[in-house]
Every structure is written in structure tokens, then in C-alpha cells.
Structure 1
Amino acid sequence: MHLVPSRPLILAISIAAALSACGGSSNDQALVIPAAPADQGAADVAPVPAVTAFVDTVATNQRGDARYATLDTNAGVRVLGGMLQIWKPLTEIVDAGQTAPAVAGFPAVVTSAWTGVPNDGTNGGTIVNQAVHAANIDYVVRATANRTPEQALAAYLDDRRNKGYSVSDAMGPLTTAWRAAAQQTTTITSIPADATTVLYNDGGNNNGVGGSANPSFGAVVDFVNMVGANGSTEPAKRFYKYARPYRWSSAVQVLPALNPAKSPTPTTDGGFTSGHSAEGVRNALAMAYAVPERFQEIISRGLELGESRILAGMHSPLDVLSGRIHGEAVVAANLVDPANAAKKAAGYAQAHSTLMAATSTTPTTFTAFAQSGSDRFSDYATNKANYLRRMTYGFAPIAPTNVAASVPKGAEVLLETRLPYLSDAQRRVVLKTTAVASGYPVMDDPEGWGRLNLFAAADGYGAFTGNVVLVMDAAKGGFNAADRWRNDIGGTGKLVKQGSGALKLAGNNSWTGGTELAAGTLEGVSSTAFGAGDVYVGGGTLIANAPASLKLAGKYTQLAGATTLELNALGGDRGTMTVAGTATIAGGTLHIKFPGGYKPKSGDSLIALSAGSLKGHFTTITVDGFANVAPVYGATTLTLTVSN
């Protein structure tokens, strides 16, 4: 693996040879080839926190068992422990409407005296942070008062309809094929006229038909069902004993059609945490694992389902955001379990083979098809903004916001199919560098589940530290062959791109350690795609495809041999490259394409490359659509005159 030359290389270029190959210029001289960007040392790591891991103890998420009745002994309760900074339940036991006999030295669980109805004159618990609690309930008051008819329908459907069916509409152009293959059905498509008196439940089959009864897609359905194991939110509900919002305030306007769904036994009907939200997140993550080509769209739908619970008046923001945390942890625990390895592999493989057959696509065309057309989740910017909003629901931080992020044990598995070319250690760093700030209510659990921003993580690193070595193998297909990172990448590290695959960089990047391309393709689709360091092309193809000139803040070096600089010219300075420092061209190819419809006329001159100082020549220059190219190498610019 080539990272850094031991010393600058000296390459003598014959002026006569340069003139015959690429045209004369004022920069014909012996070239001093700069060294590759300096080694930045070991890559960043995200150590497993030294606390009890959820993925190791998920089986303790039970009720009715005295061994798992406390914060310390129940994983599902413990992961939401930040709620104790907002609300202290009457008893810190899984005991709301619940008993359990003594066992193995653990005392018997006795039913709590909590009534489930706040302000009824009994000691129902203690509000620890009045500001957060008030904001939590007021959010529901305002949301339900301003609910639109469209939101009302969505809230009703997401409440009564099976969650798997609801989430699958985020498959976009794959939705019809997914539902048909899964044999997924629902009986709920509208709010019934008599909904105020009739409890209307879904007679469909949630995730579909699994097992041998569905030979072409049963493994996928089995996989989606599998990730919900040990996923009950009942232990948390019966521990925290925090009432639903409409019991806290009569100003909360529950959707009238859902009034029959209200539980008549508030002692066993706590609001924290939301079971619908947790299940929606679990289904979404399973589907996103099986079809990572729709990863961000599907997980966006999972959080949207949670917000529907607020708009319905059934849950508060704290109930819903805790459902996200709970659901993510449960899915990770089931995905990392070695006993489930065959199921997740079979689910992923069958999802792709069946959906490709149903949509007449191939491994080469499937990703483009999955992202084609227009649907509710086809706007990336809207998805991104909504996902971040639904992570915190506008709560102000209640603790320091600069605490370093922790990454829970096993959380990296959630990105296993979305970033398959990264190692587990690298995926953990991605989660670390894309996590939201600390300090938000409920989200600062000791492991770090609350701060994971999976939407951002699907866009790659948020920062580089040390040498970030990226190896992509195009022969493996899918994201191994081609991917795009859209985060704004900072840090002091260095990116080293190896392997035959292609990576697009689309963020407003600022990392300072430089970029070294050894093989494959790196494409800059934003003006600052390559950060603030030097760019060194020792192999492969570097592509400039930005809406304005691709700006390199340091030096640009291209070695001889199988190296290519490709400029996707779009007219004006779009698709060109501007180098602040010295551009040293020791050979290789310059290829200019016109993908956006723009094309110069025969006889036109193009400024292909500008630099603080331009040294050397390309061995070969080709311009699509033109047989003749006359290059002129100036002290700072390369100009091409094209003709047929």
C-alpha cells in the first residue's frame, strides 16, 4: 500500500518529447514531484464504552420477572435512563399493574400504587425538570391544535394499521414489488365514518408471509420479524410510569377517530416509551438493512411514524424519541447475535434477487432504479431536515453540549449493508463523527444510543483523523462499486482511496490532511469536495464534476502511468479545476467530457486547469466530440483549443 514516498521524486521530461506529445509551453523543465500528503498516523477509533452493553443483555428486557425489574437489571429500562433527569416515577421498579414472585435472591415485585392519572390527588411521581416536562406536553397541545386533514389521516393510519405495512411505503419505486413479494396486506385505507364508536383494527398481516409458505420472499419477511425479538416497550412503560399527554392536559386534542383506542386502564398504559415508535423504527431498520439502496428514505419513514403518534395526541415527543433509541438498540442486538447471521444474510440476498427480478433490473441498474421517480421521500434535503428535527423535537439542551460521543457496542452493524466496504472499526468511527451533540433530554444514555444519527451516518464520515484508508472492490457490486458521501467532512486526517470502486464526495469539506488516490475513482461533486489539503493522484481517476470550478486549496500532483484527471465540463467554470498551489503534472491522461448538454464549437478555446503555478504535461489529452486538441501550457493555466 503506497501512502507516502520516502522523498520527492525527480523526473526529467524531454522538451522535445513534450512538444511532440502535448504542445509547447513555458513550463518545460525538469519536474520535482512533490511527496504525497504526509502520513497523519493511526486512524481514529471509537472504543466500546466500559458499561454494561445493551446488545449483551437484551434478553433482560422482560416484565413479570423479578430478576429484571430495575434500571440496573433490565436493558430496555436502562437504555432510557436519561428520563430520570426529567421525571422520577413513584417507584423505580417494573411494577405498574405488574407482579412477579421472588426468584434467585431478587425480591418479589408488588403492584405499584400509581394510578396512571396525573393530578388526581395521589403521589403519582415527581417532575424533576419542569421546563422540559412542560415543553413536552405543550408540544402535543400545539401539534394537535394545528393538525391538518392530511396529518389526521396519516396519524390514524399509522395508529391502526400494522406498522410493517405503513413503513414499506418508503420503498418508493420498489413499494409495489416489495408488498407483492411479501404478500403484505392491510384492511385499513381510510378513516371509517363510524370511527367514533367502532374500534377499527387492521386485519392485514403486518410484514407479510414468511417461511416456506413464501419461497421467493419468506426469508426477507422472517428477517424483518426477527429483529423485533426482545423488543417490548412494556418494561419501560411499567417502570417509568409517565402518563400519556392527553392525561396530563385536556388541551391535547386526541384524534376523534382514535378515542375508542384509548386504554380504560391507565395504570398499565404509560406513555413512555412509545411502542408504535419503537416498532416503526425496528421495521424501518430491518427493511433498510435488506434494501440499503433506500436506507435514508426508509429510516426517515420510521421516524415519521413516530411523529404521527404525537399528531394523534397519543404520545409526547419524549415518548417518541425514546422509542427511536429503544428500537435502534433492539435491532442492533438481534443483528449482532451470531445465531441470526444466516437469517440476515438470506434476507438481504433474497430481497435483492426477488426485487431485481420484479423490476427487471440488474446489480448494475438496481440502485438507480431504487432512487428513481418521485415519492414522498425522494427529496434528500427534506428527509435530512425532518430526520434531525425528529431526533430532538426542538428541546433545548439540559447538559453540556460538547461531550465526546460514545458508540455502543454492536451499533456498527446497523451500517453493515449501507457501508459494506468499511470495516466494523471504520463504521464505528462514522457513527462517532456523525453523532448529534450531547445534552439533549433523555438522549445521553451511557452507551451512546440516543445520539446516533443514522441518517448522517449513511452519508459517510463526519470527520477524518489519522489516515482514513478506504478500499472499495467494484467486483462485489452495489455500494462496494459506487457510493456517495454527502456529509461536510472536517478534521485533520488524510483520505487514502484504494481499490477499484468509485466514491463521490459532495459535502462542503474542510479536512486538512490531504487526499491520496491510489486506485479506482474519486469524484468531486461540490466545489470543496477535497477539503483543505493537497491532492495526490498516484493511480486511478480523479473527476471534477462540481456545479462550479472544483477548488483545491493546496497542491495537485498527478503521476505518470495509469492516472486520469476527468473534467465534466458544463460551461463557464463548471466542471473545471482550480488549484490554489502548484499543479504538477508528471503524465497520465486528461479527459474532458460534456455530460450536461453543453458543448463548445469547433475552434473554441477552453481553460481546463488553473493553478498558482502549473508544471509539467499530460501524456494524453482527449476531449469528447473533437478529433483535434491543441494544448497550451502557460505558467498558471492549461488552455485547450478544440477542432474537428
Structure 2
Amino acid sequence: MKNKNKLVSAAMGTLLLINPAVDSITASAADHSSVPLPTAPAWGHFVDGYKNNIPANMTLESNPAIGVLSGFLKLWTPGTSWDNGTKLNSEVLDYNIQYVANLSKTRTKEMEDAAYYDDRRNQTYGAIDGLGSLADVYRSTTNTYTTIANIPEDATTVKYNDGNGENKGGSSDSSLGKMVDLIGIVRGNYASSNQAKKYYSYMRPWRWLDTTSVIVPTLVPARSSTPESDGGFPSGHTNASYLASLALAYAVPERFQELLTRASEMGNNRIVAGMHSPLDVMGGRVLATALAASALADPDNAALKQAAYEQAHETLLTQTGTAVDRFSNYEQNKKDFTDRLTYGFTPISSTTEPTVVPKGAEVLLETRQPYLSDEQRREVLATTGLPSGYPLLDDPEGWGRLNLFAAADGYGAFNNNVTVTMDAIKGGFYAKDTWKNNIAGTGKLTKEGTGSLTLTGSNTYAGGTELNAGTLTGKSTIAFGSGDVANNGGTLAEDVIGKVTIGGDFTQAADGTLELNMASANDVLETKGAVEVNGKLHLSFTNGYAPGTGTYTLMEYADGARTGQFSSVQIDGLSSSYITQVFYRSDKIVLNVTTPTSTTDPVVVPGTGSGTDTNANTGTEQGTDTDNQGSNGTEQPETTVNPFQSNVVNRDAVLNAVNKAIAASNNDNQSFSDISNHWGSSFIHKAVKLGIITGYENHTFRPNSPVTRAEFTAMIARAFALTPDASASFNDTGSSWAAGYIGVLANKGAITGYSDGSFKPNAPISRAEMVVIISRILNLDILAAGQPVSFNDVSSSFWAANEIARASSANLVQGISASSFSPNGTTTRAEAATLIIRALESDSSIKALIEGV
């Protein structure tokens, strides 16, 4: 929600215990998967044979570390020596080396220093930077250290090593010792890149260029003088950096993407250093991904990885760190990591080959998406992978095409129906997660469980969305895809400034809650299909947004497409001075907002800032329209209201209309047989002359007959020169003779309809309703008048009490007696005419015009 509490992340300086240890890290649900295992290549599935990566196995078929990089053989044929291999694709390989040369000409001193540190320091020490503010806590707790504290002045001539062989990777006996051991096992005996280096025998960039000028000056002493044992492909530093980072990411999935970004940075710094090429670094990443997944999927390591995860959450994440978090910018992290996946290479083969997901790769997401099954994690990996065709990356099992950064952001497509069950009591990502990808596909999303899932992508999945429990939040215009949305029992929330669109039908059952977060007047939920509402509506005003008085559209739909209404309404984030009410129209659901002193909206349901429930069914016209004056025959003194301070009417337009009406009626001496002795005869005479009201063909006026809601609306519109406009229709006014009058007053906020979308034009208008309408027309909250008149039959809690008090103090209306107002009594034609003339005469210029009529 806008500006609401978010999942606590290890990116923050202060960390909470956000994912306590549970019985099992992984979800147990089984789903049908559309991502079958790839056929085992000649060397077997990597995770089954990763322990074959030893010096004794130096063939493609015997060593999976060599096999997983076999895509390099489409570019390069190793020779019998370090310097006699054959280029098979000169265009790709020349670009690969030229990339290093070009970068060496544009790198900055800051980049060179960073490259020096990442070259000389242990990769585990460097990877810990990905923990952000907790990096210093982890290092001090585990005693992970470096002896390269700065760059010595003679570094350009002297090679400095980190610790001279000491164990700097941390202590197993520390309170985070299981995390240390997990990194150790992932970087263990079978994780070397040396066998692949020796097999592929591809030179380092500075040997291809026959110059050391591409090497960062402080690293020149670190270059090897034995090229036969110093291959460039793959990068060993990159391999080690990713291995350490992926081990940490398993234990601290709250920093999954930040740790990946740090690993990619360490790999990129090998290119900055001039020590490796982009293909070297890409190979190091691919190899490390397969090696890390193999160690984490190994049953022998199950207890260790669980213990490491628990230590991370019980000890590390409960601390407050002070280190600088260089990876707090998600968008920058995403760009950097994504760019480094392919380094600008152009695809060299088909880009439309189906994605395959390696056996066991799903373990890499085990703690990041614990609420998914292994089969679902495979689907995530399949729908977020890279396109085919890039140099090196099309290995048989699919390790090269994995995009773990994107996978951490959830599905990229629903190719099948997806059911997500999140158990909030387990904490962490079980309780709250966000999917940021643009989700495509034909499948359907079903959300189960008490946890909260947020969708932020521009989603086009067509199978629909079903919410049965917990919370599902949309944070983009089309977060809920292009299909139907059904809320059967959870909280469906939108958190978008502007319009959110539901592409199909929207239905909400009695147990559902629709949460609309209002941060601007443009925040609207649009539904393309039919709408059926029930249950609760929760409106939350956020980001400090304070609406003015008026009518605000909450939901839009096709005319007549809605059925049902909310059983209750909760409003948060508004001052208690606001008064609110929800109304249902034929094509929209709106919120009317007013204050006790405003005149543009209905006075009914208070919208408090405390989150109390209000009954949506009270939003009927009863709490909306009205206004009138007294009906006894006594003449009332001049009022002090100025109607032309209202936003509803225009003084010049009213003056012009009065002038024209008087001129047109100069020869009209119409008289009525039934008003000569009536208390309101003078007001009736003026109203008729001004064309506000007419009599009957038999020369009667019928002063005591009731006035309908349509008739009073027409009288108001004529009196105050409001141009008819039928665009604001109610479901029962389309064929009414007064549709234009009703429409213009509705658009001006002077009237509203009933909760069922009707206006009831032919119903008699009550005295209270008449008073409220004229109050809005005249802006009675700014009048300067005498003491308000109180009536025994108008309690302070009566919905129109304030308007009746103001109108009576302005001498626009009187009670039927000294102590009674009869607010629910029927308004007569004489009362309506009298009230309107008194309102017009509150302006001295208009009064002068019509005084002699």
C-alpha cells in the first residue's frame, strides 16, 4: 500500500526477525509441472555428477564442469598448447577481447581501485558486501577478514597477497559458524575452475593483445608468468565470487538479488582489471551456478543449509548494521546484473528455442520462494530465463540461460494455472512477497493462505485471478492481468496512483474485502466486464492526500454492468472533520466527501481516521438532497446570504437570466384563483414571472400541493441559470422530462441519488431534502446570520441538522411552528417558490430587479 509498512529487508539498517526457523524450509505441495527435466548430456546431469569435477577427469564426458561450458566449443577449438587453439567464430571472439581493450581506456581510478581489491582479497570477504548494512556484523561475528586494507604505494611493482595462506573465511565456532561452513561446502573440493581452464586453454586478454597496458597498473605484478597454467576461460575469481554469494543468498534470501549483484560486480571487475574477458566471466557465472545448486541439492548438506538459514535469521538479521549498503537501488541492481548476463553479445543462433531448466536448479530459489513447490520453482526459472542463441549460454541442461535475479521476482508467465499458498504465521516470504515481473501467459493465478502477495508488473496473463484467502495487492495499472478477477474471501487491494484496470469481470463475495488506496483524485478501479460487489469496501487515504469536498469516482464499469453493493465501508486516513458517503450509479461507484460546513456533498456516513466500519446501505438519497423554508404565512426579514460565493452558480448568469425573464413577462398578467389569500402569494407571483414555476391551465396554482424531486430540481436549475445536462444520469431518470435539470445539479454536486443508483424523480421532496439542496446552492456555511433556530423534532444527529439550522438562521425557512420543523414533511409548491425567491433576493442587485415584479 502507498506509504504503508513493507517487508523488512536486510537492506535496512535495523533488521527484525522476519523469517523464524520452521519445520522445513521448503513447501511440500506438489503441482503438475510443464518443465520436464532435460535429457542428461554425455557427462550426466550436473547435480548428479558434480563430484566428478576433479583433476583426474579431464574430458568432456567425464567432467560436468567441462561439459557445462561446452557451448564455448562452438567458438573455439582448444589446441595442444596454450597458444595454438583455433578461433571458430572470430567475430565473437574478437569482440570479446576488444571489449577489454575498450574498457581499459575509459575506466576510472575508482573502478581500478575496486578491481584491485576484488583481485587481491578473498572472494568470500568480497561477497559479504552484498549483505549491505550487515556486512560488518557478519565479518566481525565470524572473524572473516582481509589483510588488504588499502592499496600500497608500491603496488605497481610489488604483488601483495591476502593473508599469506591464512584461513580468512571465518570461524566455524562462531555464532554464525553454520553460515561459514555452508560457504565452505559450496566452495569446497569440487568447485574448482582449474579443470575447465586447462581443458579450454584460452588465453587471457592481455596475451591476446600482446600488451599489459590493459591491466590495471597496481595489478601488473599479479599477472602470471606461466601461460601454460594460466588460462583465461572460465574466470576462477568469478566462479568463487558467485559460489560465496549464492551460499549467502541461500541463508539470507532477503538479500538474494543484492548478493547476486555483488557477485556480478566482482566478475565485472575482472574485466576492468584486464585479467579476464566477458566470456571468461560469463563462463565463471555459469559454472558457479551449477556448482552451487549441486552442493545445495546434495542430501548430505541438507542439515547444514537448514542450520545456516536458521542462524542467519536468529542471529544475523536481528542485529543492526552500520556498513554502507551499495546495493540499495533495485533498478540499478537489475540493470547491472542483466547487462552482465550477456555483455552486449549478439545472438549467434536461434533465439526461440524453448527454455530448459536443469535438474536441481530449483534449489537455488528454495529459501527465496519457500511457499512454492519444487515444480513451481522450476516454472519460475523457465519463465524468467534468457532467450536462446547467445554465445556460450546454450548448454544442454540450461544453466547458462538461468536469470536468477529475474527469478527472484516471481513468474514471468503463467503457462499453466498457478496456485500459491502463503502461510503468514511462518513469517518471512511466507507472510509477504512481491512479484515484480511482467507476467504473461494463458494461465490463471489462484491465491490461497493468509499471507500477502503483491504484483507490480504490467501483467497480461489471460486466465484470470482468484483470491480465496490472505491479501493480493496490485501495484500497476494492469497488475491483475487481462482476465476475470474473483475475490472469494481475501483482501484484494490496489496501490496505484491513477487508474487500475481489471480486464474482465470483477466479482466479490460476502467474505471478500476490496481495498482501494486513494493517493489522488485520479485513483480509480476500472472494470471492463460485469461487476458484482458484496462484502466490505475499505478506502484508505494515503501519502498525505486530503481530498476536497466533492464527488470522487472509486470504480468505473459499463452502464448497467453492476449488481449488488458493499455490505460495509471502512475509511482510513481522513480527519474526523470529513463526512463521507458511498453512492452507486449506473456506471460507477462514487464517494461523496463533505464537512459539517461544506455544501457540495451529502451529510451522512462519517469517515473517521480510526478505521471504523460504516454501513454502506445508509448511503441513500435520504442523506443527500434537501432544502426549504417555513410554511407559515409570516413575512420574513431580509437574509444575509450571498449565493454568489458558491461554486455552483454564477452571479452574472443569474442577473442576465432574471433580466430576460422580467422583460419577457412584462405583458404577462397571469393570475391564479387560489392564491389571493395565501401567505406565499407574493413569492409565487415572482416565481411565475421569472419562469421558475408555472400554474395550471384552469388558472390555479395549487400552492399546497406537494412538489416532486424532479419538479424542485427543475425550479432550482431555472432560477439559477444552470444549463440542462443529462450526462449524469441515474438508473431511473433517462426518460424523465427533468433529466437535464437533474443531470446538471448532480454534476454540480447539489444533488445525489440513492444507494441503488436511482433518483426517484416522481417522489415528493421532503422539507429537509429541500433545505440541503439550497444549502449547497447558496454555500450557507459562509453566511453571516443571526442565532440558529433549534427545533424539537431536529436532533443534533439528524443528517440535515446543520443545513436546517443555517437556513433558519438566514431566514430562508421557518418551522411549521415555533418549536417544530417537520423535516420529513412534504414540501409544498408555495414553500418551494418562497424559498427560491428568498435565495435570489439575498443578492441586493437581484432583489432590486425583482422587488417590483
List per-residue Cα deviations over 1:64-109 (Å, max 9, x = no partner): x2xx221011111000000101110015xxxxxxxxxxxxxxxxxx
1:59 aligns with 51
Q: 2:167 & 2:348 partners in 1: Cα distance?
A: 39
Residue number in structure 2 paired with 1:381: 331
Which one-letter code corresponds to 1:564 in the other structure?
Answer: T
**Aligned pairs for 1:427-506 within 5 A:** 427-506=377-456
Residue 342 of structure 1 and its aligned partner are, at CA, apart by: 0.6
> Partner amino acid for 2:542?
P
**Structure 2 residue corresponding to 1:531, chosen from 460, 477, 481:** 481
User: Could you tell which deviates more after superposition, 246-255 or 278-287?
Assistant: 246-255
Residue 203 of structure 1: how far off its partner (Å): 1.8
1:577 paired with 2:525, answer yes
Query: Which residue does 2:363 correspond to in 1?
Result: 413
Q: Say whether 1:232 aligns with 2:224.
A: no
Of residues 247, 256, 266 in structure 2, which corresponds to 1:286?
247
2:816 counterpart residue number: none
Corresponding residue of 2:703: none
Q: CA deviation at 1:208?
A: 3.6
Matches within 5 A, 1:312-461: 312-359=273-320, 375-461=325-411
**Matches of 1:232 and 1:302, distance apart in 2:** 17
Secondary structure in 2 aligned to 1:512? coil
Shift of 1:404: 0.4
Task: Tell me which residue corresponds to 1:611.
Answer: 557
Unaligned runs of 5+ in 2: 1-30, 595-605, 607-853
Aligned counterpart for 2:536 among listed residues 572, 589, 592? 589
The alpha carbon displacement at 1:629 in A equals 3.5
In structure 2, how many angstroms separate the alpha carbons of the residues matched to 1:433 and 1:207? Answer: 39
**Aligned residue among 502, 512, 515 for 1:566:** 515
- 3-state SS of 1:508 partner: coil
Residue ranges of structure 1 left out of the alignment (5+ in a row): 1-41, 92-113, 119-123, 360-369
Do the aligned partners of 1:181 and 1:354 also contact (CA within 8 Å) in 2? no
8 Å contact from structure 2 (residues 368, 408) kept in 1? yes
Kept in 2, the 8 Å contact 1:164–1:206? The answer is: no
Q: Is the 8 A contact 1:53 1:409 kept in 2?
A: yes
Q: Judge conservation of contact 2:507–2:532 (CA < 8 Å) in 1.
A: yes
Residue 618 of structure 1: how far off its partner (Å): 0.3
Alignment check: 8 A CA contact 2:139 2:170 kept:
no
* Larger CA deviation: 170-179 vs 621-630: 621-630
- Please say if residues 497 and 520 of structure 2, whose CA atoms lie closer than 8 Å, have aligned partners that are also in contact: no
Shift of 1:217: 1.0
Judge conservation of contact 1:541–1:565 (CA < 8 Å) in 2: yes
CA offset at residue 589 of structure 1?
Answer: 0.2
| AA aligned opposite 1:75 | P
Q: Single out whichever of 505-514 and 173-182 deviates more from structure 2.
A: 173-182
**Two-structure CA RMSD over aligned residues (Å):** 1.7
- Rounded to whole Å, the distance in 1 between the matches of 2:92 and 2:342 is 12
- 1:489–1:507 Cα contact (<8 Å) kept: yes
Matches within 5 A, 1:7-46: 44-46=33-35
How far apart, CA to CA, are the structure 2 residues paired with 1:358 and 1:474? 23
Comparing both structures, which one devotes a greater share of its residues to strand?
Answer: 1
Give 1:143 shift: 0.9
Deviates more, 1:172-181 or 1:589-598: 172-181
Deviates more, 1:169-178 or 1:425-434: 169-178
- Report the CA distance shift for 1:302/1:206 in structure 2 as closer, same or farther (over 3 A): farther
- Residue 180 of structure 2 is matched in structure 1 by 221
Pick the aligned partner of 1:268 from 200, 211, 229.
229
Q: Report the 3-state secondary structure (helix = DSSP H, G, I; strand = E; otherwise coil) of the residue aligned with 1:246.
A: helix
SS in 1 for 2:318: helix
- Pick the structure with greater CA Rg: 2
Cα distance between partner residues in 1 of 2:416 and 2:227: 54
Q: CA deviation at 1:373?
A: 10
Q: Higher mean Cα deviation, 378-387 or 432-441?
A: 378-387
1:182 aligns with 2:142: yes
Of all paired residues, the percent bearing the same amino acid is 47
The alpha carbon displacement at 1:631 in A equals 1.9
| d(CA) in 2 for partners of 1:238, 1:480 | 45
1:198 maps to 158
* CA–CA separation in structure 2 for the residues paired with 1:614 and 1:206: 70
Query: CA separation of 1:497/1:391 partners in 2, compared to 1, >3 Å: closer, same or farther?
Result: same
Other structure's SS at 1:211 match: coil
Could you tell me how far 1:642 is from its partner in structure 2? Answer: 3.6
Letter matched to residue 487 of structure 2: V
Secondary structure, aligned partner of 1:400: coil
Distance 1:270 1:288, change over 3 A: same
Tell whether the 8 Å contact from 1:163 to 1:206 is kept in structure 2 after alignment: no
Q: In structure 2, give the amino acid aligned to 1:77.
A: I
Corresponding residue pairs, total: 554
Q: CA offset at residue 573 of structure 1? A: 1.7
Amino acid across the alignment from 1:635: S
Q: Could you tell me which residue of structure 2 aligns to residue 633 of structure 1?
A: 584
| Alpha-carbon offset, residue 356 of structure 1 | 3.3
Distance in 2, matches of 1:263 and 1:144, equals: 19
SS in 2 for 1:464: coil
Moved more, 434-443 or 373-382: 373-382
Looking at structure 1, the residues matched to 448 and 168 of structure 2 have their Cα atoms a distance apart, in angstroms, of 40
Deviations 1:467-494 (A, max 9, x none): 1011000011000000000000000000
Mapped contact 1:470–1:496 kept (Cα < 8 A): yes
Q: How much has 1:44 moved relative to structure 2?
A: 4.6
CA–CA distance in 2 between the matches of 1:381 and 1:440? 24
- Structure 1 residue runs of 4+, over 6 Å off? 204-207
The alignment partner of 2:317 has SS state of helix
Q: Whose RCO is larger (CA < 8 A, sep 6+)?
A: 1
Tell me if structure 2 keeps the 8 A contact 1:153–1:190: no
**SS where residue 514 of structure 2 aligns?**
strand
Q: What displacement does 1:599 show?
A: 2.2
